[in-house]
Amino acid sequence: MRVPLLDLEPEYREVEAEVLEAVRDVVGSRRFILGPRVEELEERIAQYCGCSYAVAVSSGTDALLLSLMALGVGPGDFVVTTPFTFFATAGAIARTGARPLFVDIEAESYNMDPQALKRLVHDMDGERKTRIKAVVPVHLYGRCADMDAIAEVTESLDIGLVEDAAQAIGAEYRGSQGRTRRAGALGNLGCFSFYPTKNLGGAGEGGMVTTDDHELYERLRILRNHGDVSRYHHEYIGGNFRMDAFQGAVLLVKMKYLERWIRKRRAHAALYERLIADRGVARVRTPDHGPGRHVYHQFVVDAGEARDALRAYLSEGGVGTEIYYPIPLHLQPCFSYLGYGPKDFPVAERAAKSTLAVPMYPGLVHDQISYVVDLMAKFFEERHHEKK
Ligand SMILES: Cc1ncc(COP(=O)(O)O)c(C=O)c1O
């Protein structure tokens, strides 16, 4: 049996006719950038996330960059994030001219550790502390970071809180007060990616920024279009961060299916968990759900030091896997100027060596999941016998 890490085929089979019609409408309208479909998508996403406003942009990376620009982040500033994320999170910070500061992650959630954030801030002298302009937690794999604890810090410093929700559309966070809110409504600005492989994926590049703050909303819209306040009057230096109309049209169609697809992902995650427990694959740790709703953009297991051998074994058996992410960002060559080194963030460094994403997409079927878990069980059995 072959089980790819991701297969967009079943998803597109469901929506193809509607998508093609929506694309044809855009061609017929001759309106290719922004426009009514994109505006409708902005309204739908704002409503879905429980926010007042949403601004459609050209990618998740641009959503992050634009958000930081709207907060006025620039050279000399510090922005705190996690080293265990996709490159774009820290890349966007560095591109504003600010300096990324990393804090370690929690071992269970792989998300920013609020205690580590508190320690970083506590240990900084007054002058340096005033240079922190924002914190960017990441809702990695589709599980929300501990936003209440992180917001305590950003509120006490009166600085921006930008969610990197690129992997987490529809994820929910149940805070300490028992209130449940969706990703994108948990900070000052929420950043989403519609990269084709995401839970809500376009047919090209796309992203979105959500906010409840009217002033930030206005600034986002102006900066999205070269800082143009009225035609050819540029009060700020922005960029071209506009979404194209095809993505608006395709995403509006796919939006209708999003909740169903999330339910399927969650059912697949529950099945993986049950089968892994039933077959006694005790050496594999399944993801911690956390409070709220995990949307399983990825289903990432922890296989300890057996990770690479397990990955090779699954690959031989026709199962696709991936490592998100093999090199923590503080150890990337392009960030050597920040002066971090090995052992600075041990939890992230360990996760980079022990975690493995296994197949996860709505169109997976029971037999495929069962096959993946059977292979895992066989791998550990054989290893056990070899060691005897
Ligand atoms: C955590 C995270 N942040 C940012 C991005 C950037 O999004 P995009 O690829 O749409 O630029 C991605 C996705 O690739 C991501 O996974």
Return the domain boundaries, the chain: 9-255, 258-387
Nearest 5°: CA angle at 17, between 13 and 18?
A: 110
CATH for 9-255 is 3.40.640.10
For ligand 1, atom 8, name the residue with the nearest CA. 60
Compute, in angstroms, the gap from residue 8 CA to the centroid of ligand 1: 18
Helix, strand, coil fractions of the chain, as percent rounded to 5: 45, 15, 35
Compute, in angstroms, the gap from residue 60 CA to the centroid of ligand 1: 5
Nearest to 103 by CA among 73, 123, 131: 123
Closest ligand 1 atom, CA of 207? Answer: 10
Average model confidence (pLDDT) across the chain: 97
For ligand 1, atom 12, name the residue with the nearest CA. 166
Closest ligand 1 atom, CA of 205? Answer: 10
Closest ligand 1 atom, CA of 297? Answer: 16
Compute, in angstroms, the gap from residue 209 CA to the centroid of ligand 1: 13
**Pocket perturbation via mutation, ligand 1, pick of 57, 62, 67, 86 by most ligand atoms within 8 A of CB:** 86
Compute, in angstroms, the gap from residue 193 CA to the centroid of ligand 1: 6
Dihedral angle at the C-alpha atoms of 355, 361, 364, 369, nearest 10 degrees?
10
Compute, in angstroms, the gap from residue 188 CA to the centroid of ligand 1: 19
Instruction: Answer whether 193's CB lies under 8 Å from 202's CB.
Output: no
At 178 the pLDDT is 86
- Domain 258-387's class? alpha beta
Determine the Cα–Cα distance for residues 192 and 126; give it in Å rounded to an integer.
33
Q: Where are the alpha helices (DSSP H) in 243-362?
A: 245-255, 258-278, 307-316, 346-354
Closest ligand 1 atom, CA of 64? Answer: 4
At 369 the pLDDT is 98
Determine the Cα–Cα distance for residues 151 and 337; give it in Å rounded to an integer.
29
At 384 the pLDDT is 79
Compute, in angstroms, the gap from residue 229 CA to the centroid of ligand 1: 28
Tens-digit pLDDT profile for the chain (388 aa)? 999 999 999 999 999 999 999 999 999 999 999 999 999 999 999 999 999 999 999 999 999 999 999 999 999 999 999 999 999 999 999 999 999 999 999 999 999 999 999 999 999 999 999 999 999 999 999 999 999 999 999 999 999 999 999 999 999 999 988 899 999 999 999 999 999 999 999 999 999 999 999 999 999 999 999 999 988 999 999 999 999 999 999 999 999 999 999 999 999 999 999 999 999 998 999 999 888 999 999 999 999 999 999 999 999 999 999 999 999 999 999 999 999 999 999 999 999 999 999 999 999 999 999 999 999 999 999 987 877 6
Six-digit token pair at 52?
């007042």
Residues with CB under 6 A from ligand 1: 59-61, 85-86, 88-89, 138, 164, 166-167, 193, 195, 207
Closest ligand 1 atom, CA of 61? Answer: 11
For ligand 1, atom 10, name the residue with the nearest CA. 60
At 97 the pLDDT is 98
At 282 the pLDDT is 86
Closest ligand 1 atom, CA of 85? Answer: 1
Compute, in angstroms, the gap from residue 373 CA to the centroid of ligand 1: 29
